[in-house]
Amino acid sequence: MTSPAQNIIPALEAVYVAMRDGVRLAVDVWRCADQAGDGPSPTMLLTTRYWRSFALAEDDPRLQGIFALASYFTRQGYVVVNADSRGSGASFGVRRTEWSEEEVADMGDVMEWIVRQPWSDGRVVTHGFSYGGNTAFLAAACGHPALKVIAPQFADFDIYRHNLFPGGIANGWLHDNWGRLTAAMDRGDVTAMSRLLPGIDGDSFRRLVRGPRPVDDDADGALVRQAIAGHAANFNMAAADLNFDCVDDAGRQNTGAFPDALFDSHRLSIYSHQSAIERSGVPIVYWAGWFDAGTADGALNLFASFSNPMRVIIGPWSHGRRFLQDPFVPNGKPSAIDLDENFEDVRQAVESCLAGKGIIGRRLDYYTLGENRWKSTTQWPLPQSTPTRFYLADSRQLSLAQPQHDDGSDSYVMDEAATTGTENRWHTQIGCMPVSHEDRRQADARLLTYDSMPLDQDMEITGHPIVHLYLMSNRVDVALFAYLEMIMPDGNVRLLTEGCLRAGHRKLLENDVGYRKFGPVHSFRREDIMPLAPDGMALLSFALLPISIRIPRGFRLRLAIAGADRDTFKPMPDADGAAIAIGRSRMFASYLELPVIP
């Protein structure tokens, strides 16, 4: 493909495109200024519910959030099409929920419109990250023949397990703040958006942004105002009383009601479209990050479950691949990544598919922290992985030796002020903010911790760590958070990965249905809730989120246990005064199991 001069600003055309039911979507078309003479081109399609572009006080295309992507790919010979999803931005229609059946079908309609345009050569690739990563995935469910490859990034494979209720515990921060932000967008409230978007200059945002950008034929903005007025009927997470915390609650409340009126993970997650996506046969290239909520876990679920030809890439990134995350850096601060680095990787990954060569088989590329090296595999879990147990022992130690004494436990009054802070893997999901790797010694003072002896040789951990914890409590249900950390020789403590489980969801499934999961599997269904008994030990087994890291000789491992993560997860009912006792005897031997690579 041609590479026109770097200083060419692509031309922007904004139009309404009618869907099969007459609803009009606002669509931006970005093309190189001299592209008309080059003949038809492949199209990169993005769809978003976060306003495809802004109405600006200064109508300069270089100030649009998508400009860097549009500029890069139009220089490479693509047409870039970016659409406001139904019921958002300048598009008409109502959002009954996120990623509704209508929204999925709309992507097929937009692709049909694209292939009829004189600038289209009939080939489409879908791309996007976060919400747009989901729509890039779901476009494959339409089965449109023009779609040659999908290139999503940092999407939500399982909305319940990876985002809103990991371990069955409500991610209140994401639920409330994402709901407030999307509600502000739906009503065109720039002032509220300026307060809710992290990492921006609110005053500058309010001075510059007027609302969602009208299409070219809407000179007086009457149509965009009409569209926004219609969005008042949209579903919104923060405004609605969802009244559910089990995975099947929303579906049950939908019974006999207007479908999709509630946020039903079983119907809206990527995994729920597996059959349609597999039938399409569309090649998948997917990126996720070790430090971005549960996206890496979702990437591995995808890799192990879907039959499409695919390449999955998991790197040392937070949300959106904006920052290089490295827990070894002295100050714990991540470094920014040039956007063109990501764009070039996307371009190289999709062009073989557009050229008709496709993707051969299925491959997972993953980055090992500490070793700072990319590796590839066709199997997950890695066949050479050796489960290695570290038992909870006396004096708050992690020991390779199994307990031999008949008694032993550690008591812990759950500290409601315990937190992983506001720069963690969950908060990066809004605004692509970096994840902090700063020292956790002070934070861990509120937690129950167990430390290993210094490692006598380097240890590579690649996969899902698993904890098996025997506990009793003075409550019938508690939230349990487990953190795998490393202790540097200078005493600095760095968080590597984490997992959590609501004790009531501890029942293990022997024959799980649906997509492939790793580690102990829980249904999170209401019928399987098991209250804790006041006079006996209960076993909680759950996986931590996956990671690949080589920890140097002389470092120590730490397992830290908490009953709260104040700045992210909603507290359990009756949390005040909740206490647990963790068993570490011969009969109740609690342990951390690590996937060690020899």
Say what the pLDDT of residue 4 is: 41
Please provide the DSSP assignment of 137-181 as one string.
HHGGGG--TTEEEEEEES--SSHIIIII-GGG---HHHHHHHHHH
Q: Given phi > 0 = left and psi -120 to 50 = alpha, else beta, which region is 408?
A: left
Say what the pLDDT of residue 253 is: 59
Closest CA to 121 of 87, 83, 77: 77
Say what the pLDDT of residue 38 is: 64
Catalytic residue among 127, 175, 273, 319: 319
Cβ neighbours of 349 (radius 10 Å): 19
Instruction: Tell me phi and psi for residue 528, to 5 degrees.
Output: -100, 5
Say what the pLDDT of residue 1 is: 43
Catalytic residue among 292, 410, 444, 565: 292
11-282 against 386-597: fold identical: no
Q: What CATH number should be reported for the domain whose range is 11-282?
A: 3.40.50
Say what the pLDDT of residue 262 is: 60
Residue position matching structure tokens 């019974």: 255
Say what the pLDDT of residue 555 is: 98
Closest CA to 147 of 45, 230, 220, 216: 45
Instruction: Tell me phi and psi for residue 494, to 5 degrees.
Output: -120, 130
Greatest CA separation found in the chain?
82
Instruction: Tell me phi and psi for residue 419, to 5 degrees.
Output: -160, 155
Give every residue of the chain whose pLDDT is below 70, as ranges. 1-7, 35-38, 239-243, 251-263
Residue position matching structure tokens 């065109």: 188
DSSP structure class, residue 525: -
Q: Given phi > 0 = left and psi -120 to 50 = alpha, else beta, which region is 167?
A: left
Catalytic residue among 41, 88, 120, 130: 130
Q: Is the pTM of this model over 0.85?
A: yes
- Give domain limits for the chain: 11-282, 386-597
CB 129 within 8 A of CB 293: no
CB 590 within 8 A of CB 517: no
Cβ neighbours of 489 (radius 10 Å): 11
- Is 292 a residue of the active site? yes
Cα–Cα distance measured from residue 305 to residue 462, given in angstroms and rounded to the nearest whole number: 19
- The two structure tokens encoding residue 155: 């999407």
Architecture of domain 386-597: Sandwich (2.60)
- The two structure tokens encoding residue 142: 């339409």
Local structure of 304: helix, strand or coil: helix
Within 405-481, residue ranges assigned H as helices are 441-444
